[in-house]
Amino acid sequence: MSLVAVLPVKRFSSAKARLASGGLSSAQRLALATGMLSDVLAALRRCDLVDDIVVVTSEPGAEALARGAGAQVLADDPSEGHSEAAQRGIDWAVADGAFHTLLIASDVPAADPAEIDSLIESLADDEVVIVPDRHGRGTNALILTPAGVISPSFGEGSCQRHQQIAADAGASARIETSFGIGLDVDTAEDLDALSEVLESADHSVAPFTRSVIGRLGAR
């Protein structure tokens, strides 16, 4: 079994724009995006069943973090969206001979390596595993078997949309909830939810993001 994890990462200059309404400056949002990506990369490196990591980006900071974590880097087209960047990673994985592709968001710092490995262990042939956000509407991770069985379509309502895309491709779709992967950060409310979880979690969980949140002050 060969599995490639793909992280599409857009430019940090526009990272987490919705958090501006929560009072975070551009520098604070940059620090948060960097911390979250660092934690996701670290979690993937600790997975026993992830064979390679590919970061698709045109952001120099993300490229530096990826190379520092031993990940591959693919150039992104800044004019394209998240789904197109993810497809570039899928195409690379397929060309590299991967049998599975894990697409995972770069803003899920509480992702648990053991939980990711458990999801991978349960995979069946011709299957799309969809891991939704905590609201059950978006998609924070997809596991594709075979590696290019569908083209992703992220964004609002993507959880339901990915189920239909899988059906159209003749693949089964399975929804798997994951507490850690479900905690993405797009809004001030999301950041509050993550902060609350980290307050009671072991300090080994999301250490980079935890440090950034500590510098942001009480929320």
Question: For residue range 198-216, what is the model confidence (pLDDT) as tens digits?
Answer: 999 998 999 999 999 998 8
CATH number at residue 61: 3.90.550.10
Q: To which residue do tokens 């919705």 refer?
A: 18
Say how many domains are in the chain.
Answer: 1
Helix (H, G, I), strand (E, B) or coil at 9: strand
pLDDT band at 219 (very low <50, low <70, confident <90, very high): very low
CA distance 176 to 174: 6
Predicted local distance difference test score (pLDDT) of residue 217: 66
Place of tokens 């940090």: 12
Identity of the residue numbered 184:
D
Q: Of 9-18, 53-62, 111-120, 200-209, which range is least confident?
A: 9-18
What's the CA angle centered on 125, arms 122 and 129, to 5 degrees? 55
Q: How far is CA 116 from CA 122, 171, 201, in A?
A: 10, 21, 18
* Residue-number span of the structural domain to which 161 is assigned: 3-216
Closest CA to 149 of 129, 163, 130, 128: 128
Q: What is the pLDDT of residues 151-199, one digit of tens each?
A: 999 999 999 999 999 999 999 999 999 999 999 999 999 999 999 999 9
**Dihedral pair phi/psi, residue 174, rounded to 5°:** -130, 130
